[in-house]
Structure 1
């Protein structure tokens, strides 16, 4: 099983053994992805499910509100639709609580494993600036490469600031541009100057190289971690 739906506990047949089978099948898929160093989307999905479970465990009202409803009648005079909870049986409620209590340690175990892999891979990723840096670092390029390959993937990035009454946060938008073969003459400085000559929209771009000291799945691991690394690095400079 590749994924779990957001309401997997209360959907369909509510039975401890059935839900246990569903969960373990899903976690087996996650473990297989981690074995191949594929962190995303499994790691973010694990965190989302774990937060939902702990919130349900700690908040009985939220737990009750998550249970599906079914329409029982329609009052046309008051233009009101009547609903009732599909689960009111105490035994079923206890079954759901048992599922939650079983599931939380399982998610914690796999989250810990994912975090361990994440930390190891992060320690193998190095970011450096390329050439002279401009004052504005909100847009530019980053180069992705590994020590095992001469291929260099070029991405354009843009950091956007979002604000609401309570907080500010930044989002990183990226777009793949092209591929270069890195050689002694085709180094990062040359690639940057070639990009400036060909792409007039960024005459003086902030440019970074992000290198990994091991071979990684691109979409599932290297690119997501590279984006996080870049965002952290740029945020410290802005």
Structure 2
């Protein structure tokens, strides 16, 4: 899809009409992705751009921690230097202010549309444990089924917990193991038993099935939302 550079606000021609053209093309592409129920990667990009815009608007500075991991420290420092030069130029800064005022509500609306789609998909996911659930839930298997449920995507998952002074964060990594064609004889419980026979690295794994009740793209919506839903579900079990 049509993407927007990380430093779209400050790079190239600083002109309101030009930046408006770039922005509207990007937001139209994002709208089309949402129309196809494809949330990622566009939703996370929208959030990143919106946060960065608010940082500039509210604090007149760029904060490195607000950028996604893919931007390097060197790239950030270069972007910050560019912004410092812009601040010193009153005419250019006026153009930037106009662009920010125009772009902020549009980004807000786009992010809200993405959140509504995310919540809609999440509400139509059914999560359930498979078999006996052990005390340790941070590692195991995930059975994921799109709608209609003719196939089961089997993943190994690992949840990592890290914290700072104020908050505890949970991340999740998944590895796709196989795609299983479902049938009357292949239940989730049978599939778990088969995995235990075939794979010895997890002798007593937690196993969860997530089934979508609506048709959504696997890679661009179902899998990333299912992963986040599983993290929340496991966190509730541990509480």
Normalized against structure 1, the TM-score is what? 0.88
Task: Give the corresponding residue for 2:37.
Answer: 37
Tell me the residue number matched to 2:237: 237
Residue 212 (structure 2) aligns with: 212
Of Structure 1 and Structure 2, which has the larger fraction of its residues in helix?
A: 2
1:117 shift after superposition: 1.2
Deviates more, 1:126-135 or 1:145-154: 145-154
Whether the 8 Å contact between 1:10 and 1:68 is mirrored in structure 2 is no
Q: Does residue 1:200 correspond to 2:192, yes or no?
A: no
Superposition deviation, residue 149 in structure 1: 3.1
Q: How many residues are treated as equivalent by the alignment?
A: 224
Deviation (angstroms), 1:198: 0.2
Structure 1 spans left out of the alignment, 5+ residues: 71-83
Distance 2:126 2:149 in 1: 15
The verdict on how the C-alpha distance between 1:164 and 1:183 changes in structure 2, with shifts beyond 3 A counting, is same
Once the two structures are TM-superposed, the CA of residue 169 in structure 1 deviates from its matched residue by: 1.8
CA offsets per residue over residues 102-140 of structure 1, 9 Å max, x none?
000110111111111111111111100101111111110
Secondary structure in 2 matching 1:10: coil
The equivalences for 1:109-128 within 5 A come to: 109-128=109-128
Answering whether residue 25 of structure 2 is matched by residue 25 of structure 1, we say: yes
Unaligned runs of 5+ in 2: 64-76
Q: Is the 8 A contact 1:10 1:67 kept in 2?
A: no
RMSD in angstroms over aligned alpha carbons?
2.0
Query: What CA distance in whole angstroms lies between the structure 2 residues aligned with 1:97 and 1:62?
Result: 15
- Structure number with bigger Rg: 1
2:108 counterpart of 1:108: yes
Distance in 2, Cα, partners of 1:39 & 1:69: 31
- SS of aligned partner of 1:85: helix
Equivalence map 1:4-19=2 (5 Å): 4-19=4-19
Q: C-alpha displacement at 1:62, in angstroms?
A: 4.4
Once the 2 structures are TM-superposed, how far is the Cα of residue 5 of structure 1 from its aligned partner? Answer: 1.6
From the two aligned structures, give the one with the greater strand fraction: 1
Deviations 1:29-82 (A, max 9, x none): 10110000000111111111111111111113449x955449xxxxxxxxxxxx
CA contact (8 A) 2:38 2:220 kept: yes
The offset of 1:168, in angstroms, is 2.9
Q: Deviations over 1:199-224 (max 9, x none)?
A: 00111110010000122111110000
Change (3 A) 1:98 1:201: same
CA contact (8 A) 1:143 1:209 kept: yes
1:202 counterpart SS class: coil
Q: Secondary structure at the match of 2:11?
A: coil
Q: Is the 8 A contact 2:9 2:19 kept in 1?
A: yes
Counterpart Cα distance in 1 of 2:53 and 2:15: 17
Distance 1:129 1:7 in 2: 44
Residues 1:152 and 2:146 aligned together: no
